[in-house]
Amino acid sequence: MRQQIAAANWKMNLTYQQGEQLLDVLLKEAIALKDHQRAVFAVPFPYLIMATQKLDGKKGYAVSAQNCSDKKSGAYTGEVAAEMLKSINIPYCVLGHSERREYFGEDNLTLAQKVLLCLENNITPIFCCGEPLHIREANAQQEFVATQLKESLFGLADDAIRKIVIAYEPIWAIGTGRTASAAQAQEMHKHIREFLTAKYGASTANEIPILYGGSVKGANASELFGCSDVDGGLVGGASLNASEFASIIRALK
């Protein structure tokens, strides 16, 4: 079975102490993950080492950065390089979240550079893609997402693309309370896998986890994750509540 992942994206929320408490409460749930399951926590940069220490030795639990620079190193005040993340043993990095694209102007070519730097440093990119409302209303979402994947990922060799995790996030469903139906999620995940298959072949495409990100909650996680091409979720608001996120982890296939 493909890897199934519940990824928490804390965004710019929680104090250090609140983050510690959230992880402590969640770990008390004592959820035993299977070999193909992962619980990943994308925490703010100042909390990376704390979260790594909290999760050390917990099977299937891992820490992720929420972003990295597209530059290897240099005079870029305030930026964090992939090599820096590697030096503190961070195994994942979220790239291309819709908020980074919208608020910070990140484009597909910039993200292609970030992907390469992560892979060079043995960091698994959680690569986000997805369409805004006006694209969905124009029924152009498949072409829109295909362009994001093509321009950011399709320069990768077969062995490199296998190391990517993709997160499909319908932007119109993030933080709005609106959620794509399970059928809508499955339709887009299936399209993404078919697009990957056309480029890399079925064997490779069927190994790549595709997460759903768009108002995932404990109440809808089982239905969403039950879809054949949905391999877990990238979870925002619901990941800030330990019991809610625990129920999402338990919903993994």
pLDDT at 70: 98
pTM over 0.95: yes
- Burial classification of residue 1, based on how many CB atoms lie within 10 Å of its CB (0-12 exposed, 13-18 middle, 19 or more buried): exposed
H/E element, 113: helix 108-120
The CATH superfamily of 4-250 is Aldolase class I (3.20.20.70)
Return the pLDDT at 133: 87
CA 207, distance to chain mean position in Å, is 16
List the catalytic residue out of 97, 99, 106, 131.
Answer: 97
Can 169 be counted among the known catalytic residues? yes
Say whether pLDDT at 224 is over 90: yes
Does residue 37 sit in helix, strand or coil?
strand
For 128, the 3-state DSSP assignment is strand
Among residues 106, 131, 169, 244, which one is catalytic? 169
Q: Give pLDDT tens digits for 16-51.
A: 999 999 999 999 999 999 999 999 999 999 999 999
- The gap from C-alpha 221 to its chain's centroid, in whole angstroms, comes to 15
Domain boundaries defined on the chain: 4-250
Is 97 noted as a catalytic residue in this protein? yes
pLDDT, tens digit (0-9, with 9 covering 90-100), for 69-110: 999 999 999 999 999 999 999 999 999 999 999 999 999 999
Q: What is the pLDDT of residue 173?
A: 76
What would the mean pLDDT of 54-62 be, rounded to a whole number?
97
